[in-house]
Structure 1
């Protein structure tokens, strides 16, 4: 089995935390505390494109 974060055959979620940081997350893994689902599920490529379009400032909100 390939690494679940690199699988092109899995469904993914886009998570965001209170600092406005994004994460690509396999749908079958429980969302960790402090993170919420912003988008998905979708395929890996579309999920990555969503993150790239939304997360234009990589600094945490507390540093902006």
Structure 2
């Protein structure tokens, strides 16, 4: 089951979300996670740290799932 992550505004960048949701400790960690191909957005592998996420998008990393609200 996905945990919900509310955002202020219309978008959040993927790197920011990974840090804010506790999936990465730093921007460097987020970048490394993205390079491994382990991060999925809406079921598709994503490597761009600047990818803009909107409410309804789902981010997966390992057994963690976060839905943007």
Whether TM exceeds 0.5 here: the answer is no
TM-score normalised by the chain length of structure 1: 0.27
Higher gyration radius (CA)? 1
TM-score scaled by length of structure 2:
0.26
